Structure 1
Amino acid sequence: MNAADPQAKIQALRRQLQSLLDAAKANERKLDRFDALERRLIAVESLEELVKLLLVECRAEFGLDAAELWLLDPDGELQRALPGLPMAPAPQLLAHHGPLRALFGTARTTRLIAPGHDEALLAAAFGAGARMRSAALLPLVRQGLLIGSLHFGSSDAGRYDASSGTKFLDRLAAIAAIAIESMLNRERLRRAGMTDGLTGVHNRRYFDHRSLIEFSQAVRHRYPLACLFLDIDHFKAINDGHGHPVGDEVLRQVGGMILRSLRTGDLAARYGGEEFVVLLPRTDLAGAREVAERIRLMVQAAPFVTPEGGTLSATLSAGLAMLPAGAASFAELLGAADRALYEAKRQGRNRTVAGGAPVS
């Protein structure tokens, strides 16, 4: 036996041991990074912060070439909860389960995609032009339901392959899904505190807060701001003649008509009783008149369905005012719209009055 053989074996064992130690240290560092990420996910304060953490900071922390987040949003709940949309990067909000089923089928486990396998899935997950060579697709599951997916992509063909473990990725997906659900529940509670429970429009408290912001923005950036006061005509007679449940149903349906008439960024609130207020940022007088008349005519034409299945008619009066140049406070705009509404009532109701002049 050659005397060098034992020495060679010892060197080989040392190299093997060092390799194992290096792998252990790498796994320890990976575990530390994942642990820190999980702690941050649990502590996020908003959906925007959560999206940034998953799509920007994860990509930088783990040396990824791409990160995508798909979230199921059939009712537009996430769209409302992310007022900054379009944001960069933005999650992809899905109206139905189809895209998620295309990625995962009936499985609820992480999928690793290596070169030469499932190329169509790579294109679907990142876009045809992304040119990712390997990827991890993480399903986001809560209470047995697939609510979205998180995609990590790499131009390194060896980054993700079938032999790679998915323990860390599975745990990350579970924590991310919990964080998303937590943020949605928090958003639901927040919205409940600023929404009128009967009509679905914002409540007076939220309007008082938001109106000051809109006023400040309009003054600073010198864009027009319109205010509408809307009041259901002879509402007391509806309550007295048909009962308060019918009156509530009329209010609910009018609230829905108002919301359907507005753009993203407009604000509608129930101001009190049968009175609604609408703010239209970046809208001139002609545009504001068009909105007011659209709402008024919708109410005039609607057969209001009562809880018993019957129908009745109602009308609405509208007062319109534009933010005056040099206004010192939002109260000036609100007061002008209120006076215009009073004038509409005085002239016979079921009309829009802007600055004391009826809309023809």
Structure 2
Amino acid sequence: MSSPTDPHAQVQELRRQLQSLLDAAKANERKLDRFDALERRLIAVGSMEELVNLLLVDCRADFGLDAAELWLLDPDGELQRALPALPMVRAPRLLDSHAALKELFGGVRTARLVGPGHDEALVAKAFGAGTLVRSAALLPLIRQGVLIGSLHFGACDPERYDAYSGTKFLDRLSAIAAIAIESMLNRERLRRAGMTDGLTGVHNRRYFDHRSLIEFSQAVRHRYPLACLFLDIDHFKAINDSHGHPTGDEVLRQVGGLIQRSLRTGDLAARYGGEEFVVLLPRTDLAGAREVAERIRQMVEEAPFVTPEGGTVSATLSAGLAMLPADATSFADLLNAADRALYEAKRAGRNRTVADDLVPAGS
């Protein structure tokens, strides 16, 4: 048996310690390489969908995680519009206030590592009740001093994230992720600025002209119904003359919001010009389109439109409805039919929905 002062035993122990240090250094180098590759991919992403999949799907695979969650503050719905309408492999949780983030971080602005016996209720909040996660890294996403979201990495191994471990790599990752999210949002804002009416927030005429041709060709190719609505605010000039143009602008803005809230994902609304809006309803039959038109008309009739001075005014709306004819040769056929129906609604007394007579058989 070797004595405590046995030189051979000491050499063996030193070798063991050195090998342990070398193994740790190699592991850290591999970890650094993975983080570096991830940062490069985050900086190069081209869409919000790609960014979300990178953080929630690729990160989980690359780092051997058992769970990954992304929470993003979205009080104005910007991120909701930036994400695709179709289901994603993994979707972020969009928050309408800071409340949930404050529960996780309070005043802490760096990564929080949570292991067994260290506020397990926090893990349940981050990953949901009944989670199998036993240790977690909660990363705050901060831009310009504002907490905009959080990224959560979880493991079933209670030793994976030790509450006393360093967080240098994780803090850097959260900073890069926050920059990438802000960059995607800014890109989305620029994109939307080119296709959105600045006053009402609905799409503009240029975008409608582009998108309508796509919807038309899809409806013709796949033989599904396509409905078009022309919506016009009644006596809008009288509103401007009696209450002023700022009030008229508010009525337009609020009508645009009512129209948007009445539509499904995949429907299209645009300001066509002046006080006129146009709506496309793919895969919608005559009865369904009439229901949408009447819902919008009734909402406008019942709404108290708030003026810049804090008062209210009333407004009504006329709607012309047309269905894509079976023998249509261009989108203009549908648009002209909806325009004719709108003219009939105006002529018949306004504040009503009129469908064009030349609807396809069976509609």
Q: TM-score, normalised by structure 2?
A: 0.89
CA-CA distance at 1:70 after TM superposition: 0.8
- What is the identity, as a one-letter code, of the residue corresponding to 1:41? L
Q: Give the Cα separation in 2 of the matches to 1:98 and 1:274.
A: 39
Structural RMSD (CA) = 2.4
- What is the identity, as a one-letter code, of the residue corresponding to 1:33? R
Deviations for 1:269-291, whole angstroms, at most 9, x for unmatched residues?
01112211011223221121122
Secondary structure of residue in 2 paired with 1:250: helix
Does 2:53 correspond to 1:57?
Answer: no
Q: Give the Cα separation in 2 of the matches to 1:14 and 1:303.
A: 81
* Cα contact 1:321–1:337 (8 A) shared by 2: yes
Match of 1:123 in 2: 124
Secondary structure of residue in 2 paired with 1:137: strand
| Counterparts in 2 of 1:72 and 1:85: CA distance versus 1, 3 Å | farther
CA-CA distance at 1:35 after TM superposition: 0.9
Q: Give the Cα separation in 2 of the matches to 1:302 and 1:157.
A: 56
CA-CA distance at 1:138 after TM superposition: 0.8
Match of 1:278 in 2: 279
| Counterparts in 2 of 1:52 and 1:326: CA distance versus 1, 3 Å | farther
Match of 1:184 in 2: 185
Match of 1:170 in 2: 171
The alignment covers a number of residue pairs equal to: 356
Q: Give the Cα separation in 2 of the matches to 1:137 and 1:202.
A: 38
CA-CA distance at 1:302 after TM superposition: 4.5
Does 2:261 correspond to 1:260?
Answer: yes
CA-CA distance at 1:311 after TM superposition: 5.4
Match of 2:229 in 1: 228
Secondary structure of residue in 2 paired with 1:160: coil
| Counterparts in 2 of 1:118 and 1:221: CA distance versus 1, 3 Å | farther
Q: Give the Cα separation in 2 of the matches to 1:8 and 1:298.
A: 87
Q: Which is worse superposed, 184-193 or 246-255?
A: 246-255
Q: What aligned pairs does 1:142-221 form with structure 2 within 5 A after superposition?
A: 142-221=143-222
Q: Give the Cα separation in 2 of the matches to 1:156 and 1:300.
A: 59
- What is the identity, as a one-letter code, of the residue corresponding to 1:290? E
CA-CA distance at 1:213 after TM superposition: 2.9
* Cα contact 1:230–1:341 (8 A) shared by 2: yes
CA-CA distance at 1:103 after TM superposition: 1.5
| Counterparts in 2 of 1:85 and 1:115: CA distance versus 1, 3 Å | farther
Q: Give the Cα separation in 1 of the matches to 2:205 and 2:106.
A: 46
Secondary structure of residue in 1 paired with 2:340: helix
Q: Give the Cα separation in 1 of the matches to 2:149 and 2:300.
A: 39
Deviations for 1:305-339, whole angstroms, at most 9, x for unmatched residues?
54456655543321101122354433322222122
Match of 1:42 in 2: 43
Q: What aligned pairs does 1:242-261 form with structure 2 within 5 A after superposition?
A: 243-261=244-262
CA-CA distance at 1:137 after TM superposition: 0.9
* Cα contact 1:230–1:318 (8 A) shared by 2: yes
Query: Structure 1 vs Structure 2: percent identity of aligned residues?
Result: 84
Match of 2:24 in 1: 23
| Counterparts in 2 of 1:171 and 1:304: CA distance versus 1, 3 Å | closer
Q: Which is worse superposed, 92-101 or 28-37?
A: 92-101
Does 2:113 correspond to 1:112?
Answer: yes
Match of 1:141 in 2: 142
Secondary structure of residue in 2 paired with 1:200: coil
* Cα contact 1:79–1:85 (8 A) shared by 2: no
* Cα contact 2:85–2:265 (8 A) shared by 1: no
Secondary structure of residue in 2 paired with 1:253: helix
Secondary structure of residue in 2 paired with 1:128: coil
Q: Give the Cα separation in 1 of the matches to 2:122 and 2:269.
A: 43
* Cα contact 1:343–1:356 (8 A) shared by 2: no
Q: Give the Cα separation in 2 of the matches to 1:165 and 1:36.
A: 20
Match of 1:299 in 2: 300
- What is the identity, as a one-letter code, of the residue corresponding to 2:136? A
Match of 2:316 in 1: 315
Q: TM-score, normalised by structure 1?
A: 0.90
